[in-house]
Amino acid sequence: MTAAPTQTARAETPYLHADEPVRGRRHGWWWKVLLVGALLWGLTIAATVATLNTNLVPTLILIGSFLVPFAVVLFAAERMSSGYPTTSLIIAFFVGGVLGVLGASLLEAPLRVAGIVGFLVIGLVEELVKGVVLVLMGLRLRPKTARQGALLGATVGGGFAAFESAGYAFNAALGSRGIDLVSLLQTEAVRAVLTPLGHVLWTAVLGAAIFGASRDGRSYRFRWTIPLVYLLVAVLHGLWDSMGGIGTIVAIVLTGNVVPAFEYDTLRAGTAGEVGAIATGVYAVGLGVVSVLGGMALAVIVRRHRGRDRRLSEAYATERADAAAT
């Protein structure tokens, strides 16, 4: 008596590329919210400039810092397993973001390492904190697959990026003569554009590795690839943060300013513009290389687990259909 309903339920189970059971038809809320939010951000900027009302500054900070990361949440929500509630995904965004920023701040406070090494250490700390939060937020996720882990990781990384960007925007607004609106807007615009290529991407890579290691799709399993991927994303994170210094060093070397820069803390006459241009170019190219490496790592991990993830997803969908039929 239950065979027909079970078959019907199975036939109606939606799939994403035959890999993941999803909630249903996608509505593209992520890009719709992104467009509306950008419009609201622009209107708030115009109102702030026109009225010089400093009460609007917190609104600017919140919209500019959370718009892109929250669009990531909506993107993930339409692609996550139907067994993981949307409310849990929103909690992962906010709780993960707050705990991630707090944990990273507390662990980084005692550090006194400067330069590129310091940025690498910060990368190790922040990716560790986000990884722990990711594991805690994913305890209820079924099935645990690489693709689902990447989506949850992107959500946790988006939460971290949102709260971190709000802090940077606040500091940028504190000018010596009052609110520095230009600096605030520049900081928010740059970080909004780079957010998907930074914390979102790195935590997605780590999440894909952690959840892809699960054997049955229900519980975590340790594999040596997990710490290796963690080291990879931490190094990418550190290189990203230190790219400004790397660009400056490369520019000084290429323009023959090594001796005057390191011995006299100055540049040869007439070379400041050239150094600045080269440093900016190296910085942009360096961020592009780091982003490509992160994207390639994510693609490799997800593709490597595709067959296994498909089997786990189909088994999970069948289990839910059977449970619904009975």
Q: In the structure, what pLDDT confidence band is assigned to residue 16 with cuts at 50, 70 and 90?
A: very low
Q: In the structure, what pLDDT confidence band is assigned to residue 25 with cuts at 50, 70 and 90?
A: low
- What mean pLDDT comes out for the span 258-284? 90
The percent of residues in the chain predicted with pLDDT above 70, rounded, is 91
Q: In the structure, what pLDDT confidence band is assigned to residue 9 with cuts at 50, 70 and 90?
A: very low
- pLDDT 10s digits, 197-245: 999 999 999 999 999 999 889 899 999 999 999 999 999 999 999 999 9
Confidence check: pLDDT of 274 > 50: yes
pLDDT at 103: 84
What end-to-end distance do the CA atoms of the chain give, in Å?
10
Q: In the structure, what pLDDT confidence band is assigned to residue 5 with cuts at 50, 70 and 90?
A: very low
Confidence check: pLDDT of 54 > 70: yes
- pLDDT 10s digits, 97-129: 998 889 888 877 777 667 788 889 889 999 999
CA gap 26, 13 in Å, rounded: 14
Confidence check: pLDDT of 55 > 90: yes
Pair 204, 188: CB distance under 8 Å: no
- The residue with tokens 């942009």 is 284
What's 215's DSSP letter?
S
pLDDT at 291: 97
- In the 3-class helix/strand/coil scheme, how is 225-289 assigned residue by residue? HHHHHHHHHHHHHHHHHHHHHHHHHHHHHHCCCHHHHHHHCCCCCCCHHHHHHHHHHHHHHHHHH
CA gap 259, 191 in Å, rounded: 34
Residue 40: what residue type? L
Confidence check: pLDDT of 6 > 70: no
Average pLDDT, the chain: 88
CA gap 74, 174 in Å, rounded: 32
- What mean pLDDT comes out for the span 279-294? 97
Q: In the structure, what pLDDT confidence band is assigned to residue 11 with cuts at 50, 70 and 90?
A: very low
pLDDT at 201: 97
- pLDDT 10s digits, 292-321: 999 999 999 999 999 999 998 888 888 878
Pair 207, 140: CB distance under 8 Å: no
Confidence check: pLDDT of 257 > 60: yes
Confidence check: pLDDT of 27 > 90: no
Token pair for 93:
């965004």
pLDDT at 143: 92
The model's pTM: 0.89
